[in-house]
Amino acid sequence: MDTLKQKFADKALSLYTEMRAISKESGDKVVAEVTLGQIMSGARGIKMMQWETSELDANVGIRFRGRSIPEIKQLLPSGPQGEPKPEGLFWLMLTGEVPTKEEVDQLTADWHGRSEVPQQCYTVLDSLPADTHPMTQFTIGIMAMQGDSIFDKRYAEGLSKSDYWDAVYEDSMNLIARLPRVAAYIYRRAFKDGKHIEPDTSLDYSANFAHMLGSDDKDFRSLMRLYLTIHADHEGGNASAHTVHLVASTLADPYRSLAAGMNALAGPLHGLANQEVIKWIFEMIDSLGTKTPSKEQIATYVQQTLDEGKVIPGYGHAVLREPDPRFTSQRRFAEQYIKDSDLIDTVWKIFDVVPPALQALGKVKNPWPNVDAHSGALLVHYGFPEFSFYTVLFGVSRGLGVLAAGIWSRALGMPLERPKSVTSDWIKAQAKK
Ligand code: FAM
């Protein structure tokens, strides 16, 4: 067994035993109340699942195994310019330990060794019109590889419950290894006339992904390391993670559960917001007729968007109540690496203008930017203006978190998820009580 798998197995076995005992001894303990308002507003704040890999604090933002984004930037082995490698985050999410540089290098090599994408995936993608939305292609690409599922095969042969995690680990590692190649293939066929670029396995996961997309710029490689790290996980309740968790709880294999989650990520209130943000900014620039709009011009455009009954993409969050540290880390990146970009200046002006405009509505719980408010402008700067592809980048990263969490779920023997729903009659009756 490789080092990562062995470390995980040791930790998971002892936590499994501990969790079983807690469930037996304290399973009846009441820990929260649920209001009618919560039931009627998308289950906000209801504690209803266990998720090992990260936890979201409304004010601090995401913590991966207890470590905030500024902390992981300090702690995790990094690329040459200091941005953390997502390989290290994956290791941390699975083991709770910060890996050494050697351990991260081993993981990079392991993923390279698993990264061959089966031909049928390319054949299926090639059968789609090239202008099929990249997220649709991504989901179909993942499903086209499902026949390779080790979990599926071993389950059919009579896999013991205690070995579920092992097969899910293998599928998850294979999927994570393959996702950048599938994503790059989709990008190059959709936007670069199908001129594909072979992987370079001398590079780390992120730099190789950047290379296959078509950039060997060292700053873009750093951006990819940061990007793939900060988008990976946002606790379990967000729509993509929760979907993966729910589908996997039926013992659908990782290919099926990840594909399901990617369809959730493709919604405009969730991961698709990263394309919506840049689309909205481009439309604003067109409508105002200037690439350097003033704050006053932006404020007028923001008001117009709100008056049309639309949301301002990239702002607001179901849990966060402060500027998203994932936004802030991208801003810091831009401050460090990018000089004189009208587009990035515009993103920062929007940051000054939108929160007071949303606060003035009196109903928006979080007027601050989320992760999607900044990423598009960075990608445009590095030569990737094709915004319909952006959510695929988010998806490659999100795969790391949700698949790591999925390995934990099977190792901890988590059962089929089945919350209770109620009808409007029940709600009316409760309201009268
Ligand atoms: N612009 C305009 N109105 C907004 C708004 C925004 N950015 N954010 C929230 N609101 C409205 C919201 O539509 C709701 O209005 P109604 O009562 O008329 O339906 C009201 O404010 C209360 O909403 P909330 O409780 O503050 O937020 P929710 O928890 O319901 O929704 C979001 C959270 C993220 C769906 C919401 O803020 C939004 O639509 N934001 C824009 C889309 C976006 O950026 N999504 C990406 C989220 C990101 F973190 C991710 O998943 N990648």
- CATH 1.20.1270.360 fits domain 1-420: no
pLDDT of 1 > 80? The answer is: no
**CA dist list (Å): 189 to 6, 123, 131, 186, 401:** 39, 12, 9, 5, 27
**For the chain, counts of helices (H) and of strands (E):** 20, 3
Q: Render pLDDT for 381-398 as a digit per residue (tens, 0 to 9).
A: 999 999 999 999 999 999
At residue 315, the 3 state secondary structure works out as: strand
Give the mean model confidence (pLDDT) for residues 391-414. Answer: 98
Residue 42 CA to its chain's centroid (Å): 20
Q: Render pLDDT for 210-243 as a digit per residue (tens, 0 to 9).
A: 999 999 999 999 999 999 999 999 999 999 999 9
Contact 45, 38 (CB under 8 A): yes
What are the residue boundaries of the structural domains of the chain, listed by start? 1-420
Give the mean model confidence (pLDDT) for residues 180-204. Answer: 98
Sheet with 54-57: strands ordered across: 54-57, 61-64, 67-68
Q: What ipTM was predicted for this assembly? A: 0.99
Minimum-distance ligand 1 atom for the alpha carbon of 366: 26
Neighbours of 415 (CB within 10 A): 7
Give the mean model confidence (pLDDT) for residues 6-12. Answer: 97
- Catalytic residues, by residue number, are 270, 317, 372
Residue 104, burial from CB neighbour count under 10 angstroms (0-12, 13-18, 19+):
buried
Find, among 381, 380, 371, the residue nearest to 340 by Cα. Answer: 381
Q: How far is the CA of 63 from the centre of ligand 1 (A)?
A: 22
Which pLDDT score is estimated for 2?
84
Give the mean model confidence (pLDDT) for residues 259-284. Answer: 98
Q: How far is the CA of 272 from the centre of ligand 1 (A)?
A: 13
User: Does residue 365 line the site of ligand 1, with CB under 6 A?
Assistant: yes
pLDDT of 186 > 80? The answer is: yes
Find, among 64, 73, 74, 71, the residue nearest to 95 by Cα. Answer: 64
Mutate to test the pocket of ligand 1, among 364, 370, 391 (most ligand atoms within 8 A of CB): 364
Share of the chain above pLDDT 90, in %: 99
CA dist 72 and 89 (Å) reads 8
Q: Render pLDDT for 70-89 as a digit per residue (tens, 0 to 9).
A: 999 999 999 999 999 999 99
pLDDT of 96 > 90? The answer is: yes
Which pLDDT score is estimated for 215?
98
At residue 54, the 3 state secondary structure works out as: strand
Minimum-distance ligand 1 atom for the alpha carbon of 240: 51
Atom 47 of ligand 1, residue of closest alpha carbon: 270
CA dist 211 and 106 (Å) reads 20
Atom 27 of ligand 1, residue of closest alpha carbon: 318
User: Does residue 313 line the site of ligand 1, with CB under 6 A?
Assistant: yes
Q: Render pLDDT for 325-380 as a digit per residue (tens, 0 to 9).
A: 999 999 999 999 999 999 999 999 999 999 999 999 999 999 999 999 999 999 99
Atom 3 of ligand 1, residue of closest alpha carbon: 311
Q: Render pLDDT for 111-121 as a digit per residue (tens, 0 to 9).
A: 999 999 999 99
User: Does residue 271 line the site of ligand 1, with CB under 6 A?
Assistant: yes
Atom 20 of ligand 1, residue of closest alpha carbon: 364
Share of the chain above pLDDT 70, in %: 100
Give the mean model confidence (pLDDT) for residues 12-30. Answer: 97
Which pLDDT score is estimated for 95?
98
Which pLDDT score is estimated for 315?
98
